[in-house]
């Protein structure tokens, strides 16, 4: 009996492999109830469900305990994921599963599957998911708004060219990005996406005007003239004074101001007619 037990223990021990502290097991795809089964093409192994849950919790934890030598739980978890050397597709699948497990992002399994099906392979999708999974609540909310808007665009017949496209052509910024780049009917749509409460909109001088200028500089860098610049806000600001100021900034930079209060599907129906 003891001999049999020893053989079984030796067998299961041989199936476990450690990558930077992350436990992975050769269990096969059917052994998990993951939203999107995470199978690594590099290692042909499955991250254990318990390890994915641990990563989900630690990525949201900014605490810096003494035993981590100044690093936070979130930083250490990010390093463990980096050590796996995953492909872009694998990173998409892992992070979207982590986001569902985190609960605070309010992403259901059904929506997660739809986002993955519609946006897998899009430039910047994996990076945006990683940012949603991070410790900053405001950043998570903002990047999830970008992903959801990109998904709605896809459902409405737009081609999603990029999410968070890196850009170095703004003379006022070292490096920045364009939140969404869409195309449809030979027209290119450049979007800055902001998710703020109606009573607490983004700062005009440090966020709104600079981001509208970035849209202008990025448009100038393109080889096409048929381009629409859009500053999208999930909620219309409640302050009439602020609203007048942001409308003035939009006119000055030739940017369309769009609000999402009536739903993102309505937004997509409207922006396709902008010029």
Q: Average pLDDT of each block of 10 consecutive residues along the chain (275 residues)?
A: 43 34 35 53 63 93 89 93 89 92 89 94 97 89 95 95 92 90 95 94 94 93 88 95 96 94 79 81
Residue 30 confidence (pLDDT): 37
> Taking the model in full, what pTM does it have?
0.83
Backbone angles phi, psi at 210, to 5 degrees: -60, -40
Residue 265 confidence (pLDDT): 72
- Residue of 144, 135, 147 whose CA lies nearest to 55: 135
CA distance 159 to 150: 9
Residue 141 confidence (pLDDT): 92
Q: State how beta strands 227-233 and 187-194 pair.
A: parallel
Residue 31 confidence (pLDDT): 39
CB atoms within 10 A of CB 76: 18
CA distance 32 to 47: 9
Residue 3 confidence (pLDDT): 46
Give the tokens for residue 233.
């806000």
Domains of the chain: 16-135 (no CATH), 157-275 (3.40.1350.10)
- 91-120 residue pLDDT tens: 999 999 999 999 888 899 999 999 999 999
Residue 41 confidence (pLDDT): 54
- Cα torsion at 126, 127, 132, 134 (round to 10°)? 120
Residue 35 confidence (pLDDT): 58
Backbone angles phi, psi at 233, to 5 degrees: -125, 135
Starting from the edge strand earliest in sequence, which strands make up the sheet with 16-19, in order? 16-19, 22-25, 46-47
CA distance 170 to 151: 27
Give the tokens for residue 33.
């109830």
- 46-70 residue pLDDT tens: 678 888 999 999 999 999 988 888 8
């Amino acid at each position: 009996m003891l001999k049999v037990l020893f053989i079984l223990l030796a067998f299961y021990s041989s199936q476990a492999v450690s990558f930077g502290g992350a436990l992975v097991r050769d269990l096969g795809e059917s052994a998990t109830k993951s939203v999107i089964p995470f199978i690594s093409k590099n290692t042909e192994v499955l991250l254990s469900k318990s390890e994915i849950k641990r990563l989900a919790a630690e990525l949201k934890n900014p605490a810096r305990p003494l035993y981590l030598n100044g690093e936070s739980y979130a930083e250490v978890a990010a390093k463990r994921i980096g050590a796996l050397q995953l492909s872009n597709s694998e990173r998409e699948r892992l992070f979207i599963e982590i986001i569902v497990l985190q609960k605070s992002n309010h992403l259901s399994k059904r929506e997660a599957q739809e986002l993955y099906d519609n946006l897998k392979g899009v430039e910047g999708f994996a990076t945006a998911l990683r940012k949603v999974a991070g410790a900053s609540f405001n950043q998570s909310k903002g990047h999830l708004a970008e992903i959801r808007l990109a998904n709605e665009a896809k459902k409405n017949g737009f081609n999603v060219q990029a999410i968070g496209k890196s850009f170095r052509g703004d003379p006022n910024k070292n490096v920045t990005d364009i939140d969404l780049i869409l195309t449809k009917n030979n027209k290119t749509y450049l979007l800055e996406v902001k998710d703020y409460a109606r009573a607490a909109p983004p700062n005009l001088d440090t966020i709104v005007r600079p981001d509208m200028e970035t849209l202008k500089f990025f448009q100038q860098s393109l080889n096409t003239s048929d381009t629409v610049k859009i500053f999208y806000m999930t909620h219309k600001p409640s302050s009439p004074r602020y609203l007048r100021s942001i409308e003035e900034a939009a006119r000055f930079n030739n940017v369309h101001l769009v609000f999402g209060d009536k739903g993102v599907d309505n937004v997509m129906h409207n922006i396709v007619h902008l010029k």
